[in-house]
Amino acid sequence: MTVNSNAAHGEHSGFRGRSDVEWGDPDFTVRVAGVDDLLRIQRENAAHDRSRRWSSEDALLRQVSAVAGVFLCPMLRNDGPSTEPESYRCWAWFVLGTEEGTQGVTLLDVGKDIFETLPELHSPTELRRVIKVTMARVMLGSRFENMW
């Protein structure tokens, strides 16, 4: 696990450093979120002024298909004041609501408390399916989406 030095930020200053989520870390998991979960994440991100979120709930509902799950995989543990809830910066793979069958990928901040409540994919069969779908999306030209 790679962690920014707390000494650089001052552990006693009440600031949590950013750190990478590595393959072997216990919090490296793949979770699945539905639209209701994304709305809850959006509201929490707006309340805590997290930068990786949709511009509005309407934009989220226009961009993300309501019938497909969104795969979330943490990339970073976000920094910030230790008084704020912990959060992850996650890769979010999803089906675009505006173009049938087109997939998108973006970065989304997700509160740790919400992330941990989402269903985890942990069986080898489920994880192989996610890898297969993700790789197929890459091969078919997934678009990196701005959250408009």
Q: Are 41 and 47 in contact (CB under 8 A)?
A: no
Q: What predicted TM-score, i.e. pTM, was given to this entire model?
A: 0.78
DSSP label at residue 1? -
Question: Tell me: the pLDDT tens digits for 21-43?
Answer: 998 999 999 999 999 999 999 99
DSSP label at residue 101? T
- Kindly tell me if the per-residue pLDDT of 17 is higher than 80: yes
Q: From the centroid of its chain, how far is CA 95?
A: 15
Residue 57: its pLDDT value, please? 94
Reading phi first (left if > 0) and then psi (alpha if -120 to 50, else beta), residue 49 is in left
What is the band of 67 on the pLDDT scale with cuts at 50, 70, 90? confident
Q: Are 102 and 143 in contact (CB under 8 A)?
A: yes
What is the band of 143 on the pLDDT scale with cuts at 50, 70, 90? low
Question: Tell me: the pLDDT tens digits for 81-139?
Answer: 888 899 999 999 887 776 666 677 889 999 999 999 999 987 777 777 777 766 666 65
Distance CA 121, CA 130 (A): 9
Residue 137: its pLDDT value, please? 60
Q: Are 50 and 74 in contact (CB under 8 A)?
A: no
Distance CA 38, CA 146 (A): 16
Give the phi and the psi of residue 47 in degrees, each rounded to 5.
-65, -30
> Which range is least confidently modeled, 4-13, 61-70, 117-126?
4-13
